[in-house]
Every structure is written in structure tokens, then in C-alpha cells.
Structure 1
Amino acid sequence: MLSFPAVHTLAGCLLAVDADADVLGWGRPATLLLLHDRPLHPDGSARLRAVRSVEFPLHPDDLLTDPAELPALLHRLATALGQPDRDAATAYRVTLDTIIELIGIRSVARLLAWAAVYDDLLPAVCRPRRARRVDAVDTDGGLYQLTHLPGEEHPALAVHDGPGAAHTTPAGSGLAALLAATTRLAARSQR
């Protein structure tokens, strides 16, 4: 289980992702982010760590027009990362391997979570309402769900950390599969 400060910091990072989403164009179409932390000081002398997010680029054929397709995309990406013989899988593996190398997951950085930023339609009494969603799954299986309704000053953020929390939503299950594939890929390339 991630420590309370780590969960709190990760939640803060997701709030920052939401705040930056309009400026960076995240969520239209769905955007995938790999979240990691690393020592705040390059020499690692202090115990403080900085949390960062890195956008994982999607192939134009994988860009979504319907948020309901997100879980299938996440599972497809997770499966592709484990299949080195397919062209699309190779491109995604090379991209992820490059990101892992650049941020230092094999040395000083630590993988924390995968997140998806997307626009969604939420059911409502009269008619569905648009909302920006940021869903994330951390390395301990915790599920983070941020919902930001247009016109609202602050988003709502819920953190679920019980057993199997990541698998309680379709996007959470897909993010958990992507996280597991990333962990396997990083461990395999460390050998």
C-alpha cells in the first residue's frame, strides 16, 4: 500500500493534470499519462521526491471519439506491450521503453500510476452532462477518480484503495492491465 503522503501527492498531481488539461489539450481525444516520482535533488541526498506525469502518445488509429471505447483501448495496449512480433506492438513497446529510459524508472525514478484524461458524458436527470474525467490506478491497485463538471470551480476527487478497487470500473481495470504490462516490461529490460 502506498503511504498516505504518496497517495496525497499523487492525488495532488492528478488535480494539477486537471488544471493543465485545457491548456495542454489533454482529454480531447483521450490522453494517457504515466506518473512517476524521482528524488527532488539529483544526488538523492534528500528524502523528498518530485511527482511528474509524461504523456504517452497514441497512434492516430487509436485516438478515441467515444469514451466508452477507452477500456478496450487500454486492454489492447496492455496486450500489445507483451507481443513483440506485431508492428503496432513494437512501436508502443519502443515508445514506452524510451520513456522508461528517459525518466529513469530503472535507476532513480519510481513508477507510480497510469492515468487517463478524457471527456465523458455523465448521466443526469434531464439530459447527460459533459465532464472531464481523470482516472488513475497506482502501483498498489488504488483507484483515483476525478470528475470536473464545466462551470464548476473545483473537481471532485475520490480515492478507493480497498482490495480490487482498480477493477471496480472498466477504465480502472484497463489502467491496471496497462500498469502490470509496464511493470513487466521495465523488469524484463532491467535484466
Structure 2
Amino acid sequence: MLSTDTVHALTGWLLTATEAPDIPALPRTRRPGPHAGNHHARTSHRPVCNLLLLHDGPAFDMGPDSRCMTGAPVAIDPHLLDSHRGGLPDLLPDLAAALHPHRPAAPAQHGAALHGDTLHGVADAVTDLLTTAGPGMRLVACAVLYDDIHTGTATSAATPGGGTGEQCTLTAVRRADAVDVDGRVYQAVCLPGTSATAIVDDEPDPHDTPATQPGLTALLAAAGRTGPRDASTMDGGA
């Protein structure tokens, strides 16, 4: 079970990720002992969509009893995403299946063999990151960072009849959805010109969760079977 500090660090990591002007190339949340951490981000050109593997473990460069959280992004090719009719909610379960050692071929309805090769390429990149995690690091969550459209309403100018009306507004936003090893669901969103906000659902309602949640849950389970596990890194209950 994740501690309260780890949940807070994970939430802060997702907020940093959604607010970064470009893809957060491994922003690292450091927690030296009992003190609050700092967020550091390096940036580079951001692809449309990135899968994020979030690890927690000892921060050996920060002294005894210090911990850090790191996130490794894996870019998802836009053509691979387009080859799935349902977008990310359809792609994530296929990626989870591709992490299985006896993985099946890509379903025919999701594109040609080229897309299957691309899918397995992403799976191989995920496997490489999981199997080369640093000493004592343990996978705590899987997330996906992507651009989306936010719909809202705005009051329009006065109409000829003297009244006012409402019009639908469409705004490009960045979102991050995540699932942790305890089953919590995280949703972070950043609208242009504002600070990112996040919702952490400790007991998610299956009828009121992001469409990516089932796929992220399946991917986290598959990744947990793929990467190394070290029970000594568990940080206790909340």
C-alpha cells in the first residue's frame, strides 16, 4: 500500500507533467527525508501522446532515508493511435497484451502488420525501461499524457431581442490520467493560462472514471509482471 507522501508526490508529478510547456523529460520529485520535495523538469519536443511509467525508490544522492519519484516517458506514434478506432482506450489494452511473453499478433481490426510492429516496438521500449530500473526502484503507477479538447459554455453578446445566449467553447488542454498499484485513479488537466488541477479518487466508481482507466489498469498489471519486484522498497500504509 502506498503511503500518503507517495500519493502526494505522484499527484505533484502529474501536475508538473501537465503544466510543462513541452513533454516533461523525466521530471524528478525529490523527497529528502521528511521535507517537502522539489520538482525539476527538462524539456524537449513533445509528441502528441506519451505513456508514463512512474517509479518510486531511494534517492542515493540525497542522503540516508531520502526517496525520489521518477517518470520515464514512452512516445506513442500518432499513426498507431489513429489505427485504433477508440483511440487510447482501445490502444492501452492491446499494449498490455503485447507485454505478455507470448504476446499475440495485433488484432486485424486495428490496422495492418506495420501497426502491429509499431505496437510491439512500444511494448519493447516499455519492457526495456521496466527491466533497467535503478536499484530499489519499484513501479507505482502507469499514466498517459495527452492533448485533448475541453468543452464548456460561454455567455454570448446580447442578441437582437435584448437577451443573452450561451455558446459552446472548445479549448485545447493537456491531460494526464493515471492508475496506481492500490487502484487509485488520478486525473490532471491544465487549461491554457491556468495552473493544472488534479483529482485523486481513492474508491473509483467504474461508471465515473476516465475511459483510459481499464487499459491503464491492465497495463499496470502487465508491467508489474514484467519488471523486477523488490518487497523491501514498500513504504508502508497511508
TM-score tier, shorter chain, comes to 0.7 to 0.9
Could you say what secondary structure the match of 1:120 adopts? strand
Aligned residue identity for 2:5: P
- Deviation, structure 1 residue 67: 11
- Deviation, structure 1 residue 66: 9.7
Which residue does 2:145 correspond to in 1? Answer: 117
Contact kept? 1:146, 1:155, Cα under 8 Å: yes
Which residue does 2:55 correspond to in 1? Answer: 36
Aligned: 1:157 with 2:198: yes
Contact kept? 1:33, 1:114, Cα under 8 Å: yes
Q: Greater strand share, 1 or 2?
A: 2
Aligned residue identity for 1:50: C
> What residue ranges of structure 2 are gaps of 5+ in the alignment?
23-42, 106-115, 154-167, 230-238
Query: CA separation in 1, counterparts of 2:207 and 2:223?
Result: 16
Which residue does 2:73 correspond to in 1? Answer: 55
Q: Greater helix share, 1 or 2?
A: 1
> What residue ranges of structure 1 are gaps of 5+ in the alignment?
none
CA pair 140-100 structure 1, distance change in 2 beyond 3 A: same
CA pair 32-166 structure 1, distance change in 2 beyond 3 A: farther
1:78-137 deviations in Å (ceiling 9; x for gaps): 122224354736534432221112223xx5111011111111112212222221101111
RMSD (Å), alpha carbons: 3.0
Aligned residue identity for 1:18: T
Aligned: 1:140 with 2:182: yes
Which residue does 1:8 correspond to in 2? Answer: 8
CA pair 123-163 structure 1, distance change in 2 beyond 3 A: closer
CA pair 39-168 structure 1, distance change in 2 beyond 3 A: same
The percent of aligned pairs where both chains have the same amino acid is 34
Could you say what secondary structure the match of 1:84 adopts? coil
Could you say what secondary structure the match of 1:170 adopts? coil
Query: CA separation in 2, counterparts of 1:127 and 1:65?
Result: 28
Paired residues, what number? 183
Query: CA separation in 1, counterparts of 2:137 and 2:49?
Result: 25
- Deviation, structure 1 residue 159: 0.5
TM-score, normalised to structure 1, is 0.81
Which residue does 1:131 correspond to in 2? Answer: 173
Contact kept? 1:132, 1:149, Cα under 8 Å: yes
- Deviation, structure 1 residue 176: 1.0
Aligned: 1:183 with 2:224: yes
Contact kept? 2:48, 2:78, Cα under 8 Å: no
TM-score, normalised to structure 2, is 0.66
Contact kept? 1:67, 1:120, Cα under 8 Å: no
Which residue does 2:127 correspond to in 1? Answer: 97
